Structure 1
Amino acid sequence: MDTGTHIVMGIALGGLATLDPVVAASSATTTSVFIGTIVGSQIPDIDTVLKLRNNAIYIRNHRGVTHSIPAVLIWPLLITAVVYFLFPEANILHLWAWTFAAVFIHVFVDIFNAYGTQALRPFTSKWVALGVINTFDPFIFTIHVVGIIIWALGANPGYTFLIMYLIIFGYYIKRYQAKKRVLAEVRKLIPDATDIIIAPTLRFHQWRIAAMNENTFFVGRAENGKVNILDRFRRIPVPKTPVIEAAKNDENVSAFLSFSPVYRWEVDEYDNYYEVRFIDLRYRSNGHYPFVAVVQLDRDLKVINSYTGWVYSEKKLRKKLRMIPG
């Protein structure tokens, strides 16, 4: 989920914790648990700072180690130790339990996004992405804000957020059922599909679709249960040419390939350089595919410029690359 949603989730979980008799019986425990749930709901995304270095490092590592099984166990211990030092009168066991819940829920809800997490590390580095809830979901964010306002107006926070989470649980079920119906429709249209990726959007009834069979990539969109295939691309295996292999060694391309499960490739040759482009097919927007990795190599196959990330026009891509005009 996005940062704003994780923040309101931490606040809501702190309010829910007041149903715990041990928490409610001590102001020190109440305060410490509230701090623990807010910090715990944010701490796995500390790897966002990697974006300050470059996109390649961020793409390769975001929602990786910080969302892994060891991290889910270590973060609550670290936060509990710091908060308990500030509030030694607090009940340390309940402080840890609610902080652990905040960290666990953060990672758990991220699994339902299309981006996903490497939540099963160190057992596997595979990305776990169920693609049921958009990274920012207006309904989930809004219902949290409404719950916080109701609490501020004097309602019991524990029961307010208990009801809210029951509603959200039902919402997740509805989203799962909606995705399942879209998947069934895609299978009717492409019965020989070997892979199908369905990703949510901001709108409840709209979904992005990327699928493939042995020979073709299909890109589409579903709206109100109706699936439309918008683009088709011939599926050509990436060749093992010297140019491609040199491009794969670039850190931006390598990061892209480690993350993207469905993409097409292009190679262009100019007077004094080559340009290799990998294009993720999951994020079609207004006929454009904004998530790419591009590398330029000279005639000796040394990298001149490269970039990976989101760009919404060719002009902006050229600026990102500080490039030779192509």
Structure 2
Amino acid sequence: MDTGTHVVMGLALGGLATLDPVVGGSTVTAASVMIGTIIGSQIPDIDTVLKLKNNASYIRNHRGITHSIPAVLLWPILITAVIYMIFPGTNLLHLWLWTFFAVFLHVFVDIFNAYGTQALRPFSSKWVALGMINTFDPFIFGIHIFGLFLWVFGMDPGYTFLAIYGILIIYYFCRYFAKRSVYNGVKDIIPDATEIIISPTMRYNQWRIAVKNKDKFFVGRAVKGRVRIIDQFKRVPIPNSPIINAAKEDRNISAFLSFSPVYRWEIESVENMYEIRFIDLRYRSNEYYPFVAVIHMDKDLTVINSYTGWIFSEEKLRKKLDIITN
């Protein structure tokens, strides 16, 4: 989920914790638990600082080790230890329990995004992405804000958020069945599909679709349960050539290929250089595919520039590559 949603979820868990008699009966414990749930709901995304380094490091590592099983166990211990030094009178066990719940819930809800997490590390480095909930879901964010307003205006926070999380459990089931309906619609159109990737959008009834079969890639959308194929591309295996092999050694290209499960590629000879482009097919927006990796190499296969990330126009991509070159 996005940062804003994780913040309001941390506040909500602090309110929910008041149902715990130990928390509700101690001002110090309640304050420390609120701090613990807020920090715990944010800490797995500490790897966002990798964006300051470069996009390749961010794409390769975001939601990786910081969302892993060891991290989920370690974060609550570290947070609890720090808070306990500030509030030594707090109940240590209940502080740890609610902080652990906040960290666990952060990783758990991220699994339902299209981006996913490597939540099974160290047992598996596979990305777990159920693709049911958009990174920012207006309903999930909105209902948390509604609950916080009720709390401010005097409603009991424990029972308020208990009811809200009951509603959200039902909402997640609804999203599952909505996605399942889209999946069945895709199978009706492309019965020989070997892989179907369905990604949610901010709009409840709209989904992005990327499909593979033996010979083609298909890109489509589903609106109110109706599936429509928009683009088709012939599947062409990446050649084992010196140009491609040299491109794969670049950190931006390597990061893209480690993350994207469905993409097409292009090679073009431009003046005295090669341009190799990899295009993720999952995120088509306004007739453009914004998540790409591009590399320019001279005829000796020396890298001139490269980039991976989100670019929403060809003009902006060219400017980005010019900036990197200069």
How high is the TM-score relative to the length of structure 2? Answer: 0.99
One-letter identity of the residue aligned with 1:109: V
Q: What displacement does 1:324 show?
A: 11
CA deviation string 1:21-55 (max 9, x = no partner)? 01111111000000000000000000000000100
Q: Distance in 2 between matches of 1:180 and 1:113?
A: 15
CA deviation string 1:281-316 (max 9, x = no partner)? 000001100000000001110100000001111110
Matched length: 325
- Give the structure 1 partner of residue 178 of structure 2: 178
One-letter identity of the residue aligned with 1:295: I
Q: Distance in 1 between matches of 2:249 and 2:263?
A: 17
One-letter identity of the residue aligned with 1:234: K
Q: Distance in 2 between matches of 1:283 and 1:56?
A: 18
Q: What displacement does 1:91 show?
A: 0.4
CA deviation string 1:157-177 (max 9, x = no partner)? 000000000000000000000
Determine whether 1:104 maps to 2:94.
no
Residue aligned with 2:265, SS: strand
Residue aligned with 1:208, SS: strand
Q: Distance in 2 between matches of 1:68 and 1:319?
A: 37
- Give the structure 2 partner of residue 293 of structure 1: 293
Q: What displacement does 1:208 show?
A: 0.3
One-letter identity of the residue aligned with 1:220: G
Determine whether 1:4 maps to 2:9.
no
Q: What displacement does 1:271 show?
A: 2.6
One-letter identity of the residue aligned with 1:257: L
- Give the structure 2 partner of residue 49 of structure 1: 49
Residue aligned with 1:276, SS: strand
- Give the structure 1 partner of residue 218 of structure 2: 218
Q: Distance in 2 between matches of 1:139 and 1:285?
A: 22
Identity %: 70
C-alpha contact (below 8 Å) 1:305/1:323 kept by paired residues? no
- Give the structure 1 partner of residue 283 of structure 2: 283
Q: What displacement does 1:270 show?
A: 2.1
C-alpha contact (below 8 Å) 1:198/1:210 kept by paired residues? yes
One-letter identity of the residue aligned with 2:87: F
- Give the structure 2 partner of residue 134 of structure 1: 134
Determine whether 1:159 maps to 2:159.
yes
Aligned Cα RMSD in Å? 1.0
CA deviation string 1:250-271 (max 9, x = no partner)? 0000000000000000000123
CA deviation string 1:36-80 (max 9, x = no partner)? 000000000000000001000000000001000000000000000
Residue aligned with 1:17, SS: helix
Q: Distance in 1 between matches of 2:128 and 2:81?
A: 30
Residue aligned with 2:12, SS: helix
Determine whether 1:249 maps to 2:233.
no
- Give the structure 2 partner of residue 306 of structure 1: 306
CA deviation string 1:168-201 (max 9, x = no partner)? 0000000000000000000010000000000000
Determine whether 1:202 maps to 2:205.
no
Unaligned runs of 5+ in 2: none
Q: Distance in 1 between matches of 2:244 and 2:236?
A: 14
How high is the TM-score relative to the length of structure 1? Answer: 0.99
